[in-house]
Amino acid sequence: MLKTRIDRFLVRKAMRGRYSTFGELAKAASISTTTMTKATDSNEWRSSTLDAIASALGVSPLTLLAVEEVAAVRQAHRPFPEPAEGPATRQAQRNRLTPPGAFRLYASAARRRGGTPGGAAGAGGGGGGG
């Protein structure tokens, strides 16, 4: 999957001789420093932000963009297992469907709240209600 982002290094290159910090550029572009940082540090940006930065720098917006390939995270389709009897079989099913360590995190959080995960005292995770 290809993602387009505002390249922080291309922005720095275009800033040379005009602005010494991203804060100065953000002020000249009439955007907040938070917006500036978010736009140059992630793949989340708006075209209006790109246009504001490019016009403050006096360059074409396209010169500030970089395209990178990001591995698509896809989960394989796993059908639900057949229902089985007994607590040992249910635990085996849970182990197959739950990422390693996830239940331990849930259990430790439930203990901190004072309940037990799936126990009689917790009756649904220790949250109560009904």
Q: Residue 98 falls within a domain, yes or no?
A: yes
Both 38 and 97 in a single domain? no
| Claim to verify: residue 102 and residue 55 sit in the same structural domain | no
Number of domains making up the chain: 2
Residue 31 tokens read as 């955007």
CATH of the domain at 62: 1.10.260.40
Say yes or no to pLDDT of 8 above 70.
Answer: yes
> How would DSSP label each residue in 62-81?
GGGEEEEE-----PPP-PPP
Question: Which tens digits make up the pLDDT trace of 50-109?
Answer: 999 999 999 999 899 888 877 665 555 555 555 556 666 666 666 665 555 555 555 666
pLDDT at 69: 77
Of the candidates 87, 32, 43, which has an alpha carbon nearest to the alpha carbon of residue 65? 43
130 or 32: whose pLDDT is higher?
32
In a domain, 126, yes or no: no
pLDDT of 55 reads 93
Do 13 and 65 lie in a common domain?
A: yes
* Domain match, 100 and 52 both: no
Does 79 fall in a domain? no
Give mean pLDDT, residues 21-47: 89
- Sign of the Cα torsion 53, 54, 58, 59 reads positive
Query: Residue 52, exposed/middle/buried by CB under 10 A (0-12, 13-18, 19+)?
Result: buried
Residue 45 has pLDDT above 80, yes or no: yes
Same domain, 7 and 45: yes
Does residue 104 share a domain with residue 63? Answer: no
Residue 34 lies in a domain: yes
Asked whether residue 115 carries a pLDDT value surpassing 80, the answer given is no
Mean pLDDT of the chain: 74
The residue-averaged pLDDT of 115-128 equals 52
**What's 62's DSSP letter?**
G
pLDDT of residue 122: 46
Residues spanned by the domain of 91: 84-115
CA dihedral (94, 88, 80, 115) positive or negative: negative
**Statement to judge: residues 7 and 46 lie in one domain:** yes
More confident residue, 48 or 97: 48
Pair (46, 89) in one structural domain: no
The pLDDT value given to residue 130: 47
Co-location of 41 and 13 in the same domain = yes
